[in-house]
Amino acid sequence: MLNKTGVPTAEDVLTVTPSEERLKKGPVAIIECFQEIPCNPCTEACKQGAIQPMEDINNLPQLDYDQCNGCGVCLSRCPGLAIFIVDASYSETEAIVRIPFEYVPVPRVGESVVGLNRAGEELGTFVVNKVQSGGQKNKTYTIWLVVPKALAMDVRSIRLGGLRHAN
């Protein structure tokens, strides 16, 4: 259904979801890249040896969750904005989701923003805990969002300006 709606299915997401155990250990990349296209910047971005070099540039990225330390370099390099970092070790009840962001205005630290799922549906308002600039050349911001643990694998986009209750 992904190729009809743009929304990855639960099964798609499962193929890129680390084990509960790994998620608990700390930040890890979730590479939501489900289509073979000629693209490999993520493999070159990864200095941890976690994203395996591709034999064919059209291959899907292969991530070794245990090698990944959640540094997030791949997140800002991915041309498809398809990589997220999830840190389920943040607190007892909350996780951090890092999301690539290329809109204006860029949210401020401490600001509450609307969290959206893969279908663009509102999941609630969440606090921005850190904002990283991608720099002059890269330009993609990374937004760190504090979300309830149960939503760590669902929140994938943000919107400023409050809830619209339009789901």
Partner 1 sequence: MPKVKEIEVLIIGGGPAGLSAAAAAAELGASVLVFERDDKTGGQLVKQTHKFFGSKKQYAGDRGYQIGNLLIDQCMSNPKVEVWTDTTALGIYEDGVVTAEGQGKHLKIKPERIIVATGASEKMIAFPNNDLPGIYGAGAVQTLMNVHGIVPGQRVLMIGAGNIGLIVSYQMMQAGVEVVAIIEAAPTIGGYLVHASKIRRAGVPILTSHTITEAYGQDSVEGAIICQLDEKWQPIPGSEQDLKVDVICLAVGLSPLTELCFQADCEMKFVPELSGHVPLRNKYLETTRPGLYVAGDVSGVEEASSAMVEGRLAGVCAAFSLGYGNDVAPKLQADALAELSELRAGPAGQKTVNGIKKLMDKGGAAC
The reply on whether position 161 binds partner 1 by CB under 8 A is no
In 3-state terms, what secondary structure has residue 62?
Answer: coil
Nearest CA-CA partner of 152 in 42, 9, 26, 35 = 26
The reply on whether position 80 binds partner 1 by CB under 8 A is yes
Interface residue with partner 1 among 23, 82, 147, 152 (CB under 8 A) is: 82
Shortest Cβ 33–partner 1 spacing (Å): 6
Which range binds partner 1 by CB under 8 A, 16-24, 41-49, 87-95, 144-152? 41-49
**CB neighbours of residue 103 within 10 Å:** 11
- Beta strand 112-116 pairing with 141-148: unpaired
Using the minimum distance from each CB to partner 1, give the nearer residue, 66 or 121: 121
How many angstroms separate the first and last alpha carbons of the chain? 20
Q: Give the binding-site size for partner 1 (rule: CB under 8 A).
A: 44
Query: How far is the C-alpha of 84 from the C-alpha of 42, rounded, in Å?
Result: 12
Q: Which residues bind partner 1 (CB under 8 A)?
A: 2-8, 32-41, 44-45, 56-58, 77-82, 102-104, 116-121, 137-140, 156-157, 159
